[in-house]
Amino acid sequence: MRNRLLKLLERHNAKVLAIICSTFGDSGKGKFADLVAEEWADIIIRGTGGANAGHTIWVNGQKHVVHMLPSGILHDKDGKVNIIGSGTAFDPYVFSKEQNTIRRSGGTFSNFYISHRAHLLLPQHKVMDRVRESNATEGKIGTTGQGIGPCYTDHYARIGLTANDLFNKDVFVWKLKRNLEDKIKLLRLVDPELVKYVMQHEDLESGEYYSARDIFNVDAIVNRYVMQHGLALNEYITDTDELVRKARGKQNILLEGAQGNLLSVDYGTYPYVTSTDCTVGNLAKGAGLREGDVDLTFAIAKAYMTRVGGGPFPTELGGERAAQWRSAPGMNRLREIAELGDVSINSDDEFEQGVALRIEGEEYGATTGRLRGVGWFCAATQRYSNRLNGRVFLMPITKLDVLSKFKRLKVCRALRYNGPDYRVGNLRIRKGHEFSELLPDSEVLRYCEPIYDEMPGWNCEIDKTDNKLPLETINYIRHIEQQTGASTGILSLGKDRNETYVM
């Protein structure tokens, strides 16, 4: 597998490889990022997003979940350079927690850098994110609550702070005060008990930043962020763009994406998206390069589809019933298993099938623990997504093994609109309109129903070691390739990195 992977990268003359997710995130990027980081990359960079991402990596059967750190961090001790790039929302609190954990697993942080231009994610961003989500009535985004939206909003409103501001206390203080001005005005309009409650959260140091009079205790933020985090981060913060530019062409560079194409603020199902553009172009920019510098992209797709949080998901098994079930107050994995753990994956009821698939695929959020919606693979979504992937890309398929118990499988070939007359640009959409390619408009998608192709499942365990795939598995992959016009190149048959089939 290792040699085949290296050959595949060689065939594409890859010096810069980007790994992104084709759809709504949680596609299993972490496994590939970790694999490529160990076997091939000299430099591993995160260029977008922040601690909203959850990357699960398995090494020697041990599970590691990182939110802020690049997946290559465990290989830091082997001389690999890991970077948190300029396009990220850098959260010093999450970083310091993860640093402690990773150090215990052998990470040294001796070749680790943070861009001095990375946007600084501060306590007020989490507060604004959580208060806004608590107060939202219609159209809840279902954010991870990590403050991502408010942090990037500040960046574009030109009132944000960067990692560089941690070096200069006076500048940090005046920028922080300016940054807090509009937030304090807004929070004064909100139920004071809610604000106080939100600020008691453990990741806001259990109320340390709360002031009954001023809402935010500026001194407490300055002390914690400049005097504590800032000092600890001092040695890592540098001009990483220059470092990356100099390495381009000489060393193997891995760009590690976060979230997925369909969650991109520019190209996704707006407004049910994250606050960065998660496509390869922006990933390259956030890492200090340009899209044209990327030689090859792995646009990872799961063998079925998942989506967490709000927003339309036409192929969700169980439809609206499933969406309500997973967002019910207090719903979590244990409760789902206790109440519905015995339903069959081959049930005639799609809602039950969905529950069984979620349990089988362990589709529970790595960052929030929320239930992910699960559904059939959607070729219409994938066709749209593929257009965003730059010059040369492969579409590796993950979690094929999770489908092993299904007797029959479905793939969505097109989406049929079933809503009121609606106009998008020059397109007038009426009931019955069929989309062979997803139109990234939430108002259209919420009324779309999937049109499926059906095929037999393999209904047996895949032998993950000898790579002799059942005929039905090969047919499923061929069907997906034909329908989407993309080559898969790599199949993931299990959690472990050895359970990977490189074509």
Active site residues: 26, 55
Q: Is 275 or 389 the residue whose CB approaches ligand IMP more closely?
A: 275
Which residue's CB is nearer to ligand IMP, number 47 or number 54? 54
Among 16, 68, 102, 263, binds ligand IMP (CB under 6 A): 263
Please report, as a single letter, which amino acid is at residue 364.
Y
Comparing CB distances to ligand IMP, the nearer of 259 and 297 is 259
Name the minimum Å distance from CB 240 to ligand IMP: 22
Asked if 141 is part of the footprint of ligand IMP (rule: CB under 6 A), the reply reads: yes
Q: Is 233 in the site for ligand IMP (CB under 6 A)?
A: no
x-or-dash pattern for ligand IMP, window 10-49, by CB under 6 A? --------------xxx-----------------------
Helix (H) or strand (E) holding 179: helix 169-187
Of 152 and 172, which CB lies nearer to ligand IMP in the complex structure? Answer: 152
> How many residues interact with ligand IMP (rule CB under 6 A)?
21
Q: Which stretch binds ligand IMP (CB under 6 A): 136-144, 161-169, 181-189, 473-481?
A: 136-144
Residue 273 phi, psi dihedral angles, 5° rounding:
-145, 175
The set of residues, in sequence order, having a beta carbon less than 8 Å from that of 431 and lying 6+ positions away, is: 417, 418, 419, 420
Contacts with ligand IMP in 142-201 (CB under 6 A)? 142-144, 146, 148-149
Decide whether 143 or 353 has the Cβ nearer to ligand IMP: 143
Q: 402 near 462, Cβ under 8 Å?
A: no
Identified binder of ligand IMP from the candidate list 88, 179, 240, 259, rule CB under 6 A: 259
Task: Tell me if residue 317 falls in helix, strand or coil.
Answer: coil
C-beta of 41: minimal distance to ligand IMP in Å? Answer: 21
Ranges within 402-431 binding ligand IMP (CB under 6 A): none
- Measured from the CB atom, the residue of 24 and 476 that comes closer to ligand IMP is 24
**Segments of 26-147 assigned E as strands:** 43-46, 55-59, 62-66, 81-84, 89-90, 112-115, 119-120
Task: Supply the minimum distance, in Å, between the C-beta of residue 131 and ligand IMP.
Answer: 14
As a whole number of angstroms, the distance between CA 14 and CA 23 comes to 23
Own/partner long-range contacts of 151-154 (Cβ < 8 Å, ≥24 apart): 151/50, 151/89, 151/119, 151/120, 151/121, 151/122, 151/125, 151/275, 152/89, 152/119, 152/265, 152/275, 152/276, 153/275, 154/119, 154/125, 154/179
Contacts with ligand IMP in 49-68 (CB under 6 A)? 52-54
The CA R_g of the chain, rounded to the nearest whole Å, is 23
Among the listed ranges 193-201, 268-276, 345-353, 407-415, the one in contact with ligand IMP (CB under 6 A) is 268-276
Q: How far is the CB of 147 from ligand IMP (least distance, A)?
A: 8
Q: How far apart are CA 361 and CA 357, in angstroms?
A: 6
- Residues 269-288 close enough to bind ligand IMP by CB under 6 A: 272, 274-275
CA gap 281, 267 in Å, rounded: 12
Residue closer to ligand IMP by CB (options 26, 401) is: 26
Segment interacting with ligand IMP, rule: CB under 6 A, options 102-110, 140-148, 162-170, 391-399? 140-148
Let me know how long the chain is.
503
Residue nearest to ligand IMP (CB): 309
CA-CA-CA-CA torsion for 397, 403, 408, 412, nearest 10 degrees? Answer: -40
CA distances (Å), origin 333, targets 66, 145, 340, 363? 20, 19, 10, 9
Q: Are 312 and 445 in contact (CB under 8 A)?
A: yes
Q: Which is nearer to ligand IMP, 247 or 366 (CB)?
A: 366
**Residue 121 carries which side chain, given as an amino acid letter?**
L
Using the minimum distance from each CB to ligand IMP, give the nearer residue, 199 or 278: 278
CA dist 170 and 179 (Å) reads 14
- CB of 453 vs ligand IMP, minimal distance in Å: 27
Give the Å distances, CA to CA, from 348 to 25, 56, 109, 353. Answer: 28, 32, 52, 8
CB of 66 to ligand IMP, least distance (A): 12
Structure token pair of residue 307: 């989506």
Decide the pairing of beta strands 253-256 and 43-46: parallel
Tell me the per-residue interface mask from 290 to 329 with ligand IMP, x by CB under 6 A, - otherwise: ------------------xxx-------------------
128 lines the binding site for ligand IMP (CB under 6 A): no
Q: Express the helix, strand and coil content of the chain in percent, nearest 5 each.
A: 40, 20, 40
Which stretches of the chain bind ligand IMP, using CB under 6 A?
Answer: 24-26, 52-54, 141-144, 146, 148-149, 259, 263, 272, 274-275, 308-310
